Structure formats: C-alpha cells, structure tokens
Amino acid sequence: MVNVSGKPVTSRTATATGCVRMSGQTLDAIIEGQIRKGDVLAAARLAGIMGAKKTSDLVPLCHPLPIDGIMVELTPDRDLPGIRIEATVTTSGRTGVEMEALTAVSTAALTIYDMAKAIERSMQISEIRLTFKDGGESGRYEAK
C-alpha cells in the first residue's frame, strides 16, 4: 500500500457512472415491481452503498477510508433501454474515493443483473467510469 501519512487531510469527492442495458420488457418489469426477488432499485441502491463501504476489503491495496457520504442514484432510461447508475462518495481524508464510487456503481449494476437474470440473462453492464473527482494534490477532474 502507498504510504499516505504525509499527505494533508482534505475534503474529497468522486462520482462514477455506469449502466445496465436490458430489453424493454425487463425494464418494465423492474419499474412495475414484477421481479420475484423484490424491489430491484431499492436493493441495488443499498448494494451500491455497501459496496462503497467495503471497497478496501474487495480491492487489494486500497486504503480503508472514513466515508462521510454515499449517494447512489438509479434512473430507468427507456432510450437505453436500461438503468443508469450514478454514485457519489465523499470523505475527509488523505486519499481519494474514486475506487469507492466505482465499486458502488459496479455493485449496484451486479445487483440489478442478479435480481433480473431470471427473466433476461443477456443484460449488459457497461460504461462504468469515473466522471468527477475533486480534492487532494491532483485537484479536480471532470470527464469529457
């Protein structure tokens, strides 16, 4: 692990996005609450939050961080069709929360897949990427 003890504690934020593409019928079943396993969007939101909190257990050499806030937004999009996912993580620490935001999106996407796979196995998890980060020595980053 990289030694960050010499870095100052600063406010840090990161946002990641991604999506799960699926058929229109699967999207309708999720929106209408017809998935046997339960409320897909609620479960995926919780899974994203839990994933962000467990990042250092899942990704080797990631620092465990005190997380100040996690917001996971899941937006059904009929144009995909599918679910768009956005996760924003904040902390006051010596290292950034990019990995936590990316893990939140990934975990939420995997949960959507798991809960809806009984009706569609061809769903695609895609476009997971960091879209914003601020704080720390490297400053601000915004994806184009």
Catalytic residue, candidates 39, 57, 68, 114: 114
- Report the candidate in 108, 40, 123 with the shortest Cα–Cα distance to residue 72: 108
Give the residues across from 47 on adjacent strands. none
Q: Is 134 a catalytic residue?
A: no
Tokens of 125: 């998890």
Helix (H) or strand (E) segment spanning residue 124: strand 124-134
Whether the Cβ atoms of residue 71 and residue 85 lie closer than 8 Å to each other: no
Which residues are designated catalytic?
114
